[in-house]
Structure 1
Amino acid sequence: MKPAFLPYQPASEFFTDELCYITELSNSPADEAMSVALARVAPGVTTRWHSLHNTAERYVILSGQGVAEIGDEAPRAVGPHDVILIPAGCRQRIRNTGSDDLLFYAICTPRFLPENYLDLEAG
């Protein structure tokens, strides 16, 4: 890795099949060890059950209220400054229970690669 400044680019936000919006803040071969994305879930939306093969993930809640479901753990209410640890291969989803967007950082190690994403609701 080399020193770099990565400016925030809000216009790069995109909607995913997982039912959330993603802005990649850092995800490139220049830093294979980690990626950081800003995730946004609209009020009332629950993301699809999914897992990440060979990729651990952490959610750092920035704002909003939600309920996270991770593996076989009981659903847990989450809010600002909560951190959720998601081991590689662990099923996960999150629901926005508030009236404002649920915003959180999704930090992946190693970096997120689309081929490691597994939709657990696909028929």
Structure 2
Amino acid sequence: MASARIVSNADTAEYYIAERCHVIEWWNSPDDAHSSIARIRVEPGVSTQLHRLRGTSERYLILQGRGRMHVGDLPPGEVGPGDAVFIPADTPQRIVNLGDEDLIFIAVCTPRFVPDCYEDLEAA
């Protein structure tokens, strides 16, 4: 069980992942298996890898930039600052940066993101 705490992420380093985006994990703790929170940055003109998270739902909260969200059977939709996207567990997804600036969003996963839940759908 998680204990109360305040976590400073001021010095948390951003890292690049094979999904074609940059990540800062703001919250992902084994003692709080219910959720994780990350800041994601997608460079201009880049599409993240088509993938799904097995057993894990995800929410995107768009902070900056413009993107086109592909999620499940929905028609692709444009997103921008203030928009939220719900991605049910096991649903194929990707986002494309449509603008000339970085696309930045918060990704909230429930339960928390673990690498084993990630499935690359482009390799298949």
Which TM-score applies when normalising by structure 2?
Answer: 0.96
Distance 2:109 2:13 in 1: 19
2:51 aligns with 50
State the secondary structure of the residue aligned to 1:74. Answer: coil
| Gapped regions of structure 1 (runs ≥ 5) | none
Change (3 A) 1:115 1:9: farther
Q: Which has the higher helix share?
A: 1
Distance 2:12 2:42 in 1: 17
State the secondary structure of the residue aligned to 2:5. Answer: coil
2:70 aligns with 69
Q: CA RMSD in A?
A: 1.0
1:6 aligns with 7
1:112 Cα deviation (Å)?
0.1
State how many pairs are aligned.
123
| Gapped regions of structure 2 (runs ≥ 5) | none
Distance 1:111 1:82 in 2: 22
Distance 1:98 1:3 in 2: 39
State the secondary structure of the residue aligned to 2:47. Answer: coil
1:94 aligns with 95
1:110 aligns with 111
State the secondary structure of the residue aligned to 1:31. Answer: coil
Distance 2:7 2:82 in 1: 23
| CA shift digits 1:79-111 (9 cap, x unpaired) | 001000000000000000011100000000000
Change (3 A) 1:11 1:4: closer
- Say which is worse superposed, 96-105 or 2-11, in terms of deviation: 2-11
1:5 Cα deviation (Å)?
1.0
2:28 aligns with 27
Distance 1:66 1:10 in 2: 28
1:30 Cα deviation (Å)?
2.2
1:122 aligns with 123
Which TM-score applies when normalising by structure 1?
Answer: 0.96
1:37 aligns with 38
Distance 1:96 1:10 in 2: 26
